[in-house]
Amino acid sequence: MLRYGFMAAPLPPRDRRRLRLAHENGYLDATCRDNRAIVKAHGLWCWRLKVPMVWFERHSPRSRFGCLHLEMLTTPHMLTGAGQAALKTLDPAKVSPHDALWERVPLPQLDKLAHAAFRAAVQPQNYRLNRATARIDAGAKKILKLVPRKAASA
């Protein structure tokens, strides 16, 4: 049985199959009933590989609609303006530099939308390194102060 170090119990066979498919495709189909453990396992895998975490689930157990999540928090990157625009062109979504959410997507379209969202998120022109906006300045008094960065001149 497949075991993960952070999990007390092994994943059931269906969840292991879903996780294996997620590793092959880049996105997780979490339309199963209790999906917290498999989403956590997929998130850890994405974090280790530093790829965006893309997964979808149903709104309710028997709903014909689902929601798709894209999270850049598993990577050291953030979406650029072009990346956010590219994700919005796929389907209307709530998009920020660190994540995106599509709600009320029909179940048959979720797989194709997840594939397109993952491909758009990993294109080099759609993300950039997420840098800190402040630097730490150690003065003569041994007190650390946060000093804002100077804006780069264009």
Q: What is the pLDDT of residues 103-122, one digit of tens each?
A: 999 999 999 999 999 999 99
- Cα–Cα distance measured from residue 46 to residue 26, given in angstroms and rounded to the nearest whole number: 9
For 18-36, what is each residue's pLDDT tens digit? 999 999 999 999 998 889 9
Question: pLDDT band for position 1 (50/70/90)?
Answer: very low
Task: Tell me how far the alpha carbon of residue 58 is from its chain's centroid.
Answer: 17
Domain ranges for the chain: 13-148
List the CATH code of the domain at 13-148. 3.10.310
pTM, 2 dp: 0.78
- Cα–Cα distance measured from residue 30 to residue 38, given in angstroms and rounded to the nearest whole number: 7
pLDDT of residue 141: 57
H helix intervals, 26-149: 36-49, 81-90, 107-121
For 67-83, what is each residue's pLDDT tens digit? 999 999 999 999 999 99
Question: pLDDT band for position 94 (50/70/90)?
Answer: very high
